[in-house]
Each structure stands twice: as C-alpha cells, then as structure tokens.
Amino acid sequence: MSNVVKYWKLQRYSAIANLILALWLAVSVICIQNNSFQETISWLKSPINALFLSMFFITSFLHMSLGLQVVIEDYISNILLRKKLIVSIKSFSWLLVILSILLILKIIIFN
C-alpha cells in the first residue's frame, strides 16, 4: 500500500475514533467544568476516563498531524520548507502524545 493511501485511510480511521472520543470528551467536559482540583483528579483516576483520555490524545494528535500535513502540502510551495514543517508537526505530535500519557499515568499513580 502506498504512503498516500495509508495516510488517507489513517485520516478516516482516526476520524471515526474521534467521533466517539470527542463526543465523550465534550460530555465529560460539560460534567466536570465546575469541579474543584480534587474532583477533577478523582475524575481522571477512574480507569475508563484515563483510558478514554489517553486514546483521545493518541487519535486526535494523529488526526491533527495528518490534517495539518494536507493543509501544508496544499498551500506551501517551497518543498524544503514544506518538508521541514511536516516533520516538525509530526515530531511535536509524537512528543505531546507520549508526554500526555506519562502525565495521565503520573496522576493515576501519585495523586
């Protein structure tokens, strides 16, 4: 399978995953928006919330980097700049996905 087809399919699969996870997030944010620090911590310590939030970060950062890549490919004509921007966004997304999961684990274990 060529890279382009792989990206196209990944963008659609992550979109379907986000459909469920972003809806869950929207409902959750509405429920916890007036919570105190301790209440928010105990919300995140529930296994289902921690799992869904981690999955949300994975699929959303994937969907974001694929989406921004298409935008960059469409509007940035300088090939070198284009490649640099795409690599930066991908690295940045990976970094934030790993960091967010570590932060969620930190809250579960140490709070």
CB atoms within 10 A of CB 14: 21
Residue from 10, 55, 85, 103 touching another protein (CB under 8 A): that is 103
* Least gap, CB of 19 to another protein (angstroms): 6
Return d(Cα 72, Cα 82) in angstroms, integer.
6
**What DSSP line would sit under 67-103, residue for residue?**
HHHHHHHHH---HHHHHHHHHHHHHHHHHHHHHHHHH
Q: Which two tokens stand for residue 39?
A: 């209440």
Site string for another protein, 71-100 (x = CB under 8 A): x--xx-x-x--x-------------x--xx
Q: How far apart are CA 35 and CA 40, in angstroms?
A: 6
Q: Any idea which residue has 């940045």 for tokens?
A: 92
CB of 90 to another protein, least distance (A): 13
Among positions 22, 24, 28, 85, the unique one binding another protein when judged by CB under 8 A = 22
Residues of this chain that interact with another protein (CB under 8 A) are 3, 12, 15-16, 18-19, 22-23, 25-26, 30, 33, 37, 40-41, 44, 53, 56-57, 60-61, 64, 67-68, 71, 74-75, 77, 79, 82, 96, 99-100, 103-104, 106-107
